[in-house]
Every structure is written in C-alpha cells, then in structure tokens.
Amino acid sequence: MAEARVKSEIALKGVGVSPGIAVFKCQLLSPHTDKAIQRSISADEIPNEIARFEEALIATHDQIKHIQKQVAEVLGDEHASIFDAHMLVVDDRTFIEDVIRAIKRDLINVEPVLLLVANRYADMLSKVEDSYLSERAADIRDVTKRIMANLAGETLDQMKQIKEPCVVVAHDLSPSDTASIDKAKVKGFVTDLGSSTSHTSIMAKALEVPAVVGLHNISAVVSSGDLILIDGAKGLVFTNPSEERLEEYRKREEEQKLITQELSTLRDKPPQTRDGYLVPITANIELLEELDAVGARGAKGIGLFRTEFLFLGVETLPDEDQQFESYVRAAKSQHPSPVVIRTLDLGADKLPSGFENPDELNPFLGDRAIRLCLSRPELFKTQLRAILRASVHENVRMMYPMISCVQEVMDANTLLRQCMIELSKEGIPFNQEIEIGTMIEVPSAALIADIIAPHVSFFSLGTNDLIQYTMAVDRGNENVAHLYKPTHMAIIRLIDHVVKVSHKNGLWTCVCGQMAADPRLVPLLIGLGVDELSVSPSLAPMIKDVIRKLYYSDAVELAQKALNSSSAEHVEQLCHELIESIAPEVLEISE
C-alpha cells in the first residue's frame, strides 16, 4: 500500500532579529529582487503570468507619466521630454509580444524572459552607429528596471491579500513591505536575505513579530502551506517540525512567557542601577501604531522617531498637515517625556513609491538621508515646518540623520531658520528654542564631534550605521554579517570619544542603534558614559531589567577593561560574563 509522503523536518539557522516563537503554516511570497529568479510554470499558469506582465506595464506607464509631470513642473518641459522615449518603450507592442511569446514557448515566469528580451533589444540598438538609436538602448534598460520593480512590488500586494494567520517566507522584504504587515495575519516572517540591523529587522521588532533573516535559501526550501516553527530569539527555523520539536517548543514558550511576565512588572520602576545611577530608556518607533506600546513596555518618551516610515508603503506621500498631525500625536502621547523626531532618512532601501530609484552603484553611500533632504529643499522644508508647528508641544526635539560634515548641520539649520521666519510671518506658533541634535552614525562625524557640538544640543549615536561605515560591512548583507562587530575596538573608541566630547561641551549622548537593545552591551555603553538608551518598545523591559541588576561601578570597570583591550572577541567575552552573572534570564529571550 502506498504511504502518504510525510515531509521531514529541516532545521535552519539564520539571524534572529525579533524574539518570540511562532508555529504556523507558511505563505511564500514571490521574490522581491531585481535579479530574475527563473521558475518553471505550467501551461495553466501562462494567463496569470501574462496578466502580471500587463499589470506591471500599466503601472510603469502610469509612473512614467507621473514623473514626467513632476519633472515638467520642477525642471521644465524640455527635461520632461526625455521620458517620451521611455513611454515609447513601455508601449511598444513588438517588444511586449516578444516577451509574451517567449513566456508561452519556454514556460517560465516573466522576469527572466523580460530581461532576456530587453537585453537583446538593447544590445542590438547599442551597436547601431546612430547616436539617437544607440541612446535608446539606455531607455530600454531603464524602463525594464522599472517594470521589474513593479513585478517585484507585487510582494506588497501579496502581503495585503493574506487571509489566514501565517508565517511569511520571502527572499527579501523591503521596509515598505513590512510597513504594511497586518499583525493579525502575519505571525512571523523569515527571509533569505538580511541581517540584524537591516531595516526590515527593525520593523519586525517594531511590530513585535518573531522574525529570522539571513537564511540564504529558505524561500527555495519551503512551499506555501508547509508547517514552520520559528524561534526569533535564537535565529532557528524548523520546517515541518517533528512532534518532539513541537513539544520542546511548547515548553520553551511557557518558560519564555514566565520571564516576559516577570519583566513586565518592571514597567513603572525607574531604570536605575543598584547603586542609584539613572539611565533613561526611550523608544525607537517607526509607526504611530507603536505609541501605546512605549509606555506599556516601561519606556519613557521617544529617542528616535524614524519618520521616513510615514512615507513608505503608502500611495500618496504625507503633506505638511498630515505630517504635523502625526508628530502632534506622538508628542501628546508621551507628554511631558521628550519625543525626538528624526528628519527623513530616505534613500537606499527606503524609497517611497513614486520616487525615482537613482542609478547608484553604492546607494548606502549615495544620495540618502540628510543629503537627499538638502538637495530637495522643498521636501525637507515641508517636514521642518511640520516639526516646528508640532514643537508648540514643548517635548518635541529634532535631529538630522547621516551627518558626515559640519556644513550639512549648518545648511540644515539655515533651512530651519528660514522655516521659522516663514512661520513667524504667517503667524503660526512654534517653539523658538526647539532642541536640535544630530545623529552620529558616520565615522567622520564622530571624529569631528567637537566641531559639530556648537551647532547642536545633543548627539544620538546610530551604531547600526556607525559600525557599517567604520568597518566597511554592509549592515544588511548576511554574507558579511560575521564581520559586523559592535565590540570592535574602533567602535568602542569612537563611542568613548563622542561621549567625552559631548560632555565636555555640555551636550548629552543617546545610543539609538541596535547596540542599546543588546542586553550584553548595555553595561558597556553605560560604563562609557552614554546618557540615554533608545530601543524598540518590545525590548525595553529586558534592558530595564539589566540596568536594575547592574552596579554602575561594575559598568565603569567593564568599560575601562574594554578600552584597554585589543580584541573584539575579548570585549564580547567580558560583556557576556557580566550579563551571565547578573541577569542570565535575558539570555533565554535574546540571541
């Protein structure tokens, strides 16, 4: 008698980026990547594949029209006419029919077919000795990229179409994809790409959804409907878990629940060491939906409001009034505790729909964050006005991201003063004394902290980027994740330097990068003199637990040892030993 085939358990280890255990059927989302992954399709799937292509063409057509209109308004008709050539490509029936024919003939999904046909056309044109025609090759490549992006953008739609509670499995998820997750349906997610400080991971923590990233090929291993178990703290994933595994995790979940319950009793207790040293814990938020969690988890105020998330996963970008309302909501919800609104950190992986994806070889070193804002003063001033208007609630503070030289701070402050003058003329109230800070997340800024200090009131150490840029390790790339070392001596020395400079200049320094949320590293940061820690609300109880079990004198001793050390591994070990001796329970619920 034929036996039903039972799929056996597969265990995979990735990077746990958001704690918690989830056991659900998985929902596989099609790859969100600009590389075309080839997939065979059956004859029945042909109409669906053609429909995907045609929808992507329509979306591309509309986007080009929209951009053309915007360019005409800002730069004039002459510049906008470049897009006529793009329109010709997207509407070219011969090109479209060629792609459709190849899908039917080769029985493969549209992405690789599109790339193949487009490259053939572009190569043909680039060889023609007519400069007009050879330039059209570039148009074909540009438009193809846009169509590919629209095909990938379906991830977002697929996310919205999820009906049943599930664990989402994807090759990668963009911050926009995760911004639109419905927590009632998406009970966890796992991806091939990503690392602990990638923006997708940050969103998982914000949503308090267990997540494991950097699994390399999980999207090729599972099929939709397979049962999957994820352990977000340890970074483990089990597909088709055995009965024994399920039982083991039922017990583990119970234990974790008890620890979490115990930690929740700290909510109203001060974040104070045993010897009376206070280290305020504020929250990092991305979405307004998180506001309630801030106080509920025992954080006080917001140390980092990543406002760019207001621009992601939405059809139309928020205008001044809409932004103002969001900032006021945040300010009121935390009053009188402070709310630090970070100006837009857009660019690289955080591109809103409708924004041109600039053709940059190294987008994380490119036109992003403060650079993007300074080169688009209208966009920036709209936000500055909204923040200033919200500053009538006096707990509102503001800071600039990705500062790499003092001129950027000065230029941003100049635009801010212009906005103040405009608002005054319009009779709109704001706080003249609003505290302005800057993120220190680029090594050059850390090293000239003394030169930047006179222009701001506080520093916020963005260790996620600081480590990435200091060590030349892409924070989102799982292939080099082993080289990303928060305890590297260069990082410890930079933090030490920035804190000392800030205190010498009468400023305070917060850490809002992931280092502040790693219980092992909290004593080190405190010992280095960091004044405030800003973490995802869900991690605040664990961090408060560590602070309350720590002696400040031990933290200072640890920092001294670390500063005198010469290896990241040694510092890591010192940090681990201290946490193991004072708060071993937190190691149960974090990686």
If 0-12 CB within 10 Å is exposed, 13-18 middle and 19+ buried, where does residue 349 land?
A: middle
Helix locations, 265-405, DSSP H: 291-296, 320-334, 369-375, 377-390
Which tokens in the block code for residue 260? 């979490």
Spatial separation of the C-alpha atoms in residues 45 and 208, rounded to whole Å: 36
Which residues does residue 282 pair with via DSSP β-bridges, in sequence order? Answer: 534
Q: Closest separation between CB of residue 534 and ligand PEP, Å? A: 8
Q: Residue 293: which of 519, 540, 21 has the closest Cα?
A: 540
Q: Closest separation between CB of residue 345 and ligand PEP, Å? A: 5
The backbone region for 276, taken as left when phi is positive above 0, alpha when psi lies in -120 to 50, beta otherwise, is: left
Spatial separation of the C-alpha atoms in residues 4 and 22, rounded to whole Å: 26
Name the one range near Mg ion by CB under 5 A: 29-37, 104-112, 456-464, 558-566.
456-464
Task: Tell me which of Mg ion, ligand PEP, none is bound by residue 463, counting a contact when its beta carbon lies within the kind-specific cut-off of 5 to 8 angstroms.
Answer: ligand PEP
Candidates 200, 464, 470, 538; binder of ligand PEP (CB under 6 A) is 464
Using rule CB under 6 A, residue 465 touches ligand PEP:
yes
Which tokens in the block code for residue 570? 């040694």
Q: Closest separation between CB of residue 167 and ligand PEP, Å? A: 24
Scanning residues 196 to 215, which ones bind ligand PEP (CB under 6 A)? Answer: 202
Task: Tell me which of Mg ion, ligand PEP, none is bound by residue 159, counting a contact when its beta carbon lies within the kind-specific cut-off of 5 to 8 angstroms.
Answer: none
Q: Residue 211: which of 226, 223, 228, 224 has the closest Cα?
A: 228
Candidates 192, 441, 545, 572; binder of ligand PEP (CB under 6 A) is 441
Using rule CB under 5 A, residue 465 touches Mg ion:
yes
Spatial separation of the C-alpha atoms in residues 102 and 144, rounded to whole Å: 16
Number of chain residues interacting with ligand PEP (CB under 6 A): 11
Spatial separation of the C-alpha atoms in residues 33 and 311, rounded to whole Å: 21
Are 212 and 236 spatial neighbours (Cβ–Cβ below 8 Å)?
yes
Q: Is 135 helix (H, G, I), strand (E, B) or coil?
A: helix
Using rule CB under 6 A, residue 485 touches ligand PEP:
no
Q: Which is nearer to ligand PEP, 177 or 465 (CB)?
A: 465
- The letter for the amino acid at 420 is M
Using rule CB under 6 A, residue 290 touches ligand PEP:
no
Q: Residue 519: which of 565, 441, 588 has the closest Cα?
A: 588
Using rule CB under 6 A, residue 478 touches ligand PEP:
no
The backbone region for 377, taken as left when phi is positive above 0, alpha when psi lies in -120 to 50, beta otherwise, is: alpha
Are 169 and 219 spatial neighbours (Cβ–Cβ below 8 Å)?
yes
* φ and ψ of 36, to 5 deg: -90, 115
Q: Closest separation between CB of residue 399 and ligand PEP, Å? A: 10
Looking at 26, 199, 510, 575, which residue is catalytic? 199
Q: Closest separation between CB of residue 468 and Mg ion, Å? A: 8
Q: Is 512 a catalytic residue?
A: yes
- The letter for the amino acid at 574 is L
Q: Closest separation between CB of residue 338 and ligand PEP, Å? A: 16
Are 303 and 534 spatial neighbours (Cβ–Cβ below 8 Å)?
yes
Q: Is 575 a catalytic residue?
A: no
Name the one range near Mg ion by CB under 5 A: 78-86, 433-441, 522-530, 532-540.
433-441
Q: Which is nearer to ligand PEP, 197 or 353 (CB)?
A: 197
Number of chain residues interacting with Mg ion (CB under 5 A): 3
Name the one range near ligand PEP by CB under 6 A: 67-75, 239-247, 427-435, 462-470.
462-470
DSSP code string of 285-315: ESSGGGHHHHHHTT--SEEEEEGGGGSSS-S
CB atoms within 10 A of CB 576: 14
Using rule CB under 6 A, residue 17 touches ligand PEP:
no
Using rule CB under 5 A, residue 142 touches Mg ion:
no
Candidates 71, 263, 351, 512; binder of ligand PEP (CB under 6 A) is 512
Using rule CB under 6 A, residue 306 touches ligand PEP:
yes
Q: Which is nearer to ligand PEP, 113 or 440 (CB)?
A: 440
Candidates 172, 208, 290, 345; binder of ligand PEP (CB under 6 A) is 345
Q: Is 504 helix (H, G, I), strand (E, B) or coil?
A: helix
Are 494 and 433 spatial neighbours (Cβ–Cβ below 8 Å)?
no
Name the one range near Mg ion by CB under 5 A: 55-63, 81-89, 331-339, 435-443.
435-443
Spatial separation of the C-alpha atoms in residues 255 and 234, rounded to whole Å: 14
Candidates 235, 271, 513, 523; binder of ligand PEP (CB under 6 A) is 513
Using rule CB under 5 A, residue 441 touches Mg ion:
yes
Using rule CB under 5 A, residue 139 touches Mg ion:
no
Q: Which is nearer to Mg ion, 208 or 441 (CB)?
A: 441
Candidates 462, 527, 529, 537; binder of ligand PEP (CB under 6 A) is 462
Using rule CB under 6 A, residue 486 touches ligand PEP:
no
Q: Which is nearer to ligand PEP, 12 or 202 (CB)?
A: 202
Which are the catalytic amino acids? 199, 512
* Residues forming the site for ligand PEP (CB under 6 A): 202, 304, 306, 345, 441, 462-465, 512-513
